[in-house]
């Protein structure tokens, strides 16, 4: 069967490149054998062959292996789409769709053209014109679509405190999540607005105006105080240790400073801090202690039962004063604990109890006054309440 002109052309294309590699001196090139071309399972043999080389194109293949080929080859062409002018393939896999930013829009794409093929978030003219973050809160509005690069939409692009539907609510008088609910969560879920202030036990939410942080410390962890009402540093003052003091007058052991014999001194007295100015007996801004001075533990009998001295070993800023009580239900310095002043004497920084005066000019203490076997000391603050200034008592029973 004669070879058609198309087949002849294919044969020529197959043979021509091999012929150019030949030589006249017996080197590599043409050699005796058969050239075989397979088209749809039909072998066509030519009286020319190549050694150890094969070439395929179009619908057939050529072999120079010295034998004949078997089987059939594909009828598809190996010429690329770009060579035939069919364009490139985008993310959609559409022939001819040019989509540089992977949003499925672009030149020749089925979904339509792209106004900016380098911006995944926009493809329409409206998106390319209106997509913006006017309030610079990293939440966008006016875009055709949103992702992690451009989050949105922003329900109020003129307010940097309001953004996404799932935005975290803050205590600031605004509805961050675009639902219209202002500060809807419990304060402990919205506060603090930033950071992690220490020792805060609970929060309150009361914004003075929209857009202003309204988080306030409601109460502190046990044993701590917020002296300066500043949220950032939390409850910054460690209060007086309640394992070694009392918040109200009483006989509980944690408030006892011990039993002091003549010549003795109280040990392990705690350092205390009361962050608030005195607000009266029983109202919380106070520390209470009890001390025993048994008359029987004197080296001699009255008027030689010793001299009691209660002073401040430490008083930061001269902030603290104290009062002495014979009983929790009496007045300060009553029952002749300070006869020179009488009941309701002014707060003291130093208190002595003498049987007989050491100074002839001192008030005439009488040994008929009941010896204070046990007293209660109330410590309170008189100034500088916005600091963590502290105090420590000193308690002695000096021999006379």
Q: Is the pLDDT of residue 60 over 90?
A: no
Read off the pLDDT of residues 256-294 as tens digits, 9 standing for 90 and up: 999 999 999 999 999 999 988 999 999 989 999 999 999
Q: Which pLDDT score, from 0 to 100, does residue 366 have? A: 62
Domain residue extents for the chain: 1-19+31-78, 188-238, 253-398
Which tokens go with 121?
Answer: 């978030």
Read off the pLDDT of residues 126-157 as tens digits, 9 standing for 90 and up: 999 999 999 888 889 999 999 988 988 887 88
pTM: 0.56
Q: What is the mean pLDDT of the chain?
A: 77
Q: Is the pLDDT of residue 207 over 70?
A: yes
| Range in 153-167, 174-188, 254-268 the model is least confident about | 153-167
Class in CATH terms, 253-398 = mainly beta
* Percent of the chain's residues with pLDDT above 70: 71
Longest dimension (CA), the chain: 153
Q: Is the pLDDT of residue 308 over 70?
A: yes
C-alpha separations of 150 from 117, 167, 248, 265 in Å: 16, 15, 60, 72
Which tokens go with 184?
Answer: 């809807």
**For the residues 322-348, what does the mean pLDDT come to?**
79
Contacts 24+ apart (CB under 8 A), 62-68: 62/14, 62/15, 62/35, 62/36, 62/37, 63/36, 64/18, 64/33, 64/35, 66/33, 66/34, 67/34, 67/36, 68/34, 68/36, 68/43
Rounded to an integer, what distance in angstroms lies between the CA atom of residue 205 and that of residue 189? 10
Q: Is the pLDDT of residue 23 over 50?
A: no
């Amino acid at each position: 069967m004669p070879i058609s002109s198309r087949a002849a052309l294919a044969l020529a294309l197959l043979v021509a490149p091999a012929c150019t590699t030949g030589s006249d001196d017996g080197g590599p090139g043409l050699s005796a054998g058969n050239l075989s071309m397979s088209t749809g399972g039909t072998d066509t043999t030519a009286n020319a062959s190549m050694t150890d080389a094969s070439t395929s194109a179009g619908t057939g293949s050529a072999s120079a292996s010295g034998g004949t080929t078997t089987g059939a080859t594909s009828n598809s062409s190996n010429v690329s789409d770009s060579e035939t002018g069919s364009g490139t393939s985008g993310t959609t896999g559409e022939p001819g769709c040019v989509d540089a930013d992977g949003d499925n829009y672009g030149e020749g794409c089925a979904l339509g053209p792209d106004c900016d093929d380098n911006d995944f978030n926009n493809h329409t003219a409206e998106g390319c014109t209106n997509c913006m973050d006017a309030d610079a809160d990293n939440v966008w509005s006016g875009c055709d679509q949103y992702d992690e690069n451009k989050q949105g939409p922003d329900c109020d692009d003129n307010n940097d405190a309001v953004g996404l539907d799932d935005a975290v609510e803050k205590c600031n008088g605004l509805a961050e999540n675009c639902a219209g609910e202002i500060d809807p969560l419990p304060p402990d879920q919205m506060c603090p607005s930033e950071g992690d202030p220490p020792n805060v036990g609970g929060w309150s939410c009361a914004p003075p105006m929209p857009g202003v942080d309204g988080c306030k410390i409601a109460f502190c962890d046990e044993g701590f105080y917020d002296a300066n009402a500043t949220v950032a540093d939390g409850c910054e003052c460690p209060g007086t240790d309640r394992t070694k003091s009392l918040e109200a007058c009483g006989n509980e052991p944690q408030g006892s400073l011990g039993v002091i014999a003549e010549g003795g001194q109280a040990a392990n007295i705690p350092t205390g801090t009361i962050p608030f100015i005195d607000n009266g007996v029983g109202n919380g801004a106070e520390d209470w202690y009890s001390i025993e001075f048994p008359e029987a533990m004197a080296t001699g009998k009255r008027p030689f039962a010793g001299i009691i001295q209660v002073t401040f070993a430490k008083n930061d800023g001269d902030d603290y004063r104290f009062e002495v009580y014979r009983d929790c239900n009496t007045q300060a310095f009553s029952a002749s604990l300070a006869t020179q002043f009488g009941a309701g004497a002014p707060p003291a920084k130093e208190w002595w109890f003498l049987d007989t005066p050491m100074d002839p000019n001192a008030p005439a203490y009488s040994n008929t006054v009941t010896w204070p076997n046990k007293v209660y000391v109330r410590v309170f603050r008189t100034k500088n309440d916005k600091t963590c200034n502290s105090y420590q008592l000193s308690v002695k029973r000096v021999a006379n």
